[in-house]
Structure 1
């Protein structure tokens, strides 16, 4: 415990418990930033003395206040907080049935971090934080680790688990930078390999407590800046209701048209057949070819996300806008998670459509688990996940805690397993992301050769698809999902990309149908029937 009575916790160590809440101060809320006048007082934590004591030991210190959340929603808060600029919205639905406790909304990042073959670059710097000067002597992976080490903040009692940090994406082509996997034609990708928003200010919805947590992270000597940032956030939220109404049935209605595909059905079946030949020749055990369909998206990505979160809720719901690209996602699959020193992967492979009743669901589950092709594919990916985690975990700690269970999602069901390990003391959370990226469920196994075959047969760079979206908090926790079931919006178009796992006894027509079944969960959100002009935009 330090002198404030607040537990000092190493951001890389597993916290035993959270410390008690620091002292507080009260600020009269009379400032409005483009919204309605505020008729409340902000009770700010910690107070100035407690802040100064924490700032002596930490590069950043969270400063926060709470409000009731009865007039704003995460979706309405996003344009209020982010405007037309970069921002991120995170939500979650557990097992497609219950909304998660927290939603996270942020805009106005302190900076944007871009990582490419030349190194780490800072763009659009709005506020100075201790990121350090980018060095060309460091590899991209080393540069990210160095920046993360400088951007640390304590875990404090009363705060949600996610309050800020590096938040963004790693494109599929980032595999070369993160772990040396060869990705031919990576320079043709439509986006930088890695992009992170440096989020130091955020609004966190605690749905259980019906509270909004306004939080900012500031260095030593800038306590007043923190208070002003909270007042500014509160003022923005006071005017958060500017989105147009959307018909309740619109999100679930069937899509219009087939879109513009990057390959026809015959070509995809040919690729599946070619991959089977490579499998029979012993080149790979499995590979995951994908196909892309593109639609017009004149209203941008936020209306797509509004429909998607209703029509296809999932454990990882996100809307990310940065670097001329928008990602609206409902991914079912985590790539890797680090909480304290516990590292977790949860491979998903094996798919059936949902039934029309609980009885038909049970029949389909039995059929899925009895399918030798699906079981073999899943077992290979479980082994791959164990090998990946073994590279960063303490010897003997990698183990399955859940094996071949069926989990139901909105439109499909999957076989899932959970693999856990204890992160080695010489490893950082970001190393766990690097060694698991990209997921074997979107490449195949062995991963390197499967990626080479994908590059040979797919006509385009994958870009954001099959990469990862997530965050690394200032307290050291990491959580990234695989960028599947995701709509990529750029230059007035929205693309949907889906793949299927090919093994030795795969049927090309069946694998084609699987890609279309997965796309069917997204297309109603991208091109809903009769939706012209109804969704609105940021």
Structure 2
């Protein structure tokens, strides 16, 4: 092991226990990044222990933190200063070189955080308690799906690593539930008339040359009956739609769940790739029916337009941070 390099060792526990640990011990293991699907995209599941430090931006625009001292400026300025002040580890070797995460930050950025970048935007206030947060992760477990091995990884002292390993092993010995059925008290869906009115307004803006593309969405909320937990919702989502980029993150009373087939960004060395997906259809009982639906999806003008829009959007975004002329589709 190189000086300053994180310590890694095999945990000797089944990888299936990692989602259960996130569900049953959210205070100890608040972050789960899970490859819940099968196939070439589903390669690793990562379970992160509680962060030693965190930075957040609340809905009122105030910065909060523990384990790190914020300075003047916004969330992104503070996060940039924090990451720059953190010593960079040496290039990994051995087992560390085989895993995709070797410690760092888990970052959530809500849509409303765009106002920190584009100051002229006049966005409605966020209905979530937090607009953005960054968690400094030093201790975590990685399940390599191809081999079935589980690794415990720790920055810092040997004693901290031994404590993580012992905790994983002891908790994994206890059988964990798969998640109770969720009980929904009520569902609130935005009226279609409001959405259609916004569509007409966007069409007017396009005709006037104010914008050339826009992505509208509808609000959808549900309220769970007492006794249901975020872990129950994640388990139900996982059963209904096992996805290669699933996630459950719990922080300061807020839970973020993901069940996505789409990779936003992949960084390997100095190369960045993105894999946008637009348009979905349900999987059907036979390959022939699947192929018919797939052909319909590919030929549909609305679905193709949305996909082209996403590619154009992400190409432009990458062009802002990559070398000129290096972005290709």
Q: TM-score range by the shorter chain?
A: 0.7 to 0.9
CA–CA distance in 2 between the matches of 1:235 and 1:365?
Answer: 44
| Structure 1 position 336 matched with structure 2 position 265 | yes
Residue 94 (structure 2) pairs with residue 157 (structure 1): yes
Structure 1 match to 2:143: 205
Q: In the TM superposition, what is the alpha-carbon distance from 1:208 to its structure 2 partner?
A: 2.7
Matches within 5 A, 1:370-385: 370-385=299-314
**Does the alignment pair 1:184 with 2:123?**
yes
- Specify whether residues 272 and 353 from structure 1 end up closer, same or farther in structure 2 by C-alpha distance, changes over 3 A only: farther
Structure 1 residue 87: Cα displacement = 0.8
Q: 1:308 to 1:118 in 2, by over 3 A?
A: closer
1:278 equivalent among 185, 205, 220: 205
| Distance apart, 1:230 and its partner CA | 3.3
Report 1:252-263 matches (<5 A). Answer: 259-261=187-189, 263=190
Question: TM (normalized to structure 1)?
Answer: 0.54
Instruction: Tell me the equivalent position of 1:91.
Output: 34
Taking the aligned partners of 2:65 and 2:204, their CA distance within structure 1 comes to 45
2:236 matched to 1:307? Answer: yes
Over residues 402-436 of structure 1, what are the superposed CA-to-partner deviations in whole Å (9 max), with x where a residue is unaligned?
xxxxxxxxxxxxxxxxxxxxxxxxxxxxxxxxxxx
Tell me if the contact between 2:108 and 2:134 (Cα under 8 Å) persists in the aligned partners: yes
Q: CA deviation at 1:349?
A: 2.2
SS in structure 2 of the partner of residue 350 of structure 1:
coil
Is the aligned partner of 1:73 residue 2:9?
no
In the alignment, structure 1 segments of 5+ residues that lack a partner are 1-21, 23-49, 56-60, 126-130, 401-538
The answer as to 2:53 corresponding to 1:111 is yes
Separation (CA, whole Å) in 1 of partners of 2:304 and 2:128: 35
Q: Does 1:64 align with 2:64?
A: no
Q: Which residue of 1 is the match for residue 111 of structure 2?
A: 172
Change (3 A) 1:73 1:224: closer
Q: Helix, strand or coil for the counterpart of 1:158?
A: helix
TM-score (norm 2): 0.84
Kept in 2: contact 1:89–1:105 (CA 8 A): yes
Corresponding residue SS for 1:349: coil
Q: Given that residues 7 and 155 in structure 2 are in contact (C-alpha distance below 8 angstroms), is that contact kept between their aligned partners in structure 1?
A: yes
Alignment of 1:370-409 (within 5 A): 370-400=299-329
**Equivalent residue of 2:218, what SS?**
strand
Matches within 5 A, 1:6-21: none
- Distance in 2 of aligned mates of 1:101 and 1:85: 24
SS at match of 1:313: coil
Residues 1:378 and 1:303: Cα distance change in structure 2 (over 3 Å): same
Question: What is the CA–CA distance in structure 1 between the aligned matches of 2:158 and 2:148, rounded to whole Å?
Answer: 27
Contact 1:86-1:109 at 8 Å conserved across structures: no
TM-superposition CA deviations, 1:156-181 (whole Å, max 9, x none): 32022213221141111111224546
| Number of residue-to-residue matches in the alignment | 322
Residues 72, 345 of structure 1: alpha-carbon distance in 2 compared, 3 angstrom cutoff: closer
CA distance in 1, matches of 2:270, 2:15: 38
| Corresponding residue of 1:241 | 175
Select the residue among 119, 125, 140 that pairs with 2:75: 140
8 Å CA contact 2:188, 2:220 repeated in 1: yes
**Cα shift at 1:213:** 1.0
Contact in 2 for aligned 1:355/1:361 (Cα 8 Å): yes
Change (3 A) 1:364 1:149: same
Partner SS for 1:202:
strand
User: Does the 8 Å contact 1:114/1:196 carry over to 2?
Assistant: yes
DSSP-derived class of the 1:193 partner: strand
| CA contact 1:105–1:204 (8 Å) conserved in 2 | yes
Distance 1:118 1:293 in 2: 24
Q: Could you tell me how far 1:214 is from its partner in structure 2? A: 1.1
Partner of residue 216, structure 2: 289
Aligned pair in 2 of structure 1 residues 168, 396: CA closer, same or farther (>3 Å)? closer
Alpha-carbon shift at residue 106 of structure 1 (Å):
1.7
**Structure 1 range deviating more: 314-323 or 347-356:** 347-356
**Distance across 1 between alignment mates of 2:62 and 2:186:** 40
Q: Which has the larger radius of gyration?
A: 1
Secondary structure, in 3 states, of the residue corresponding to 2:297? helix
Could you say what the CA RMSD is over the residues aligned between the two structures, in angstroms? 3.0
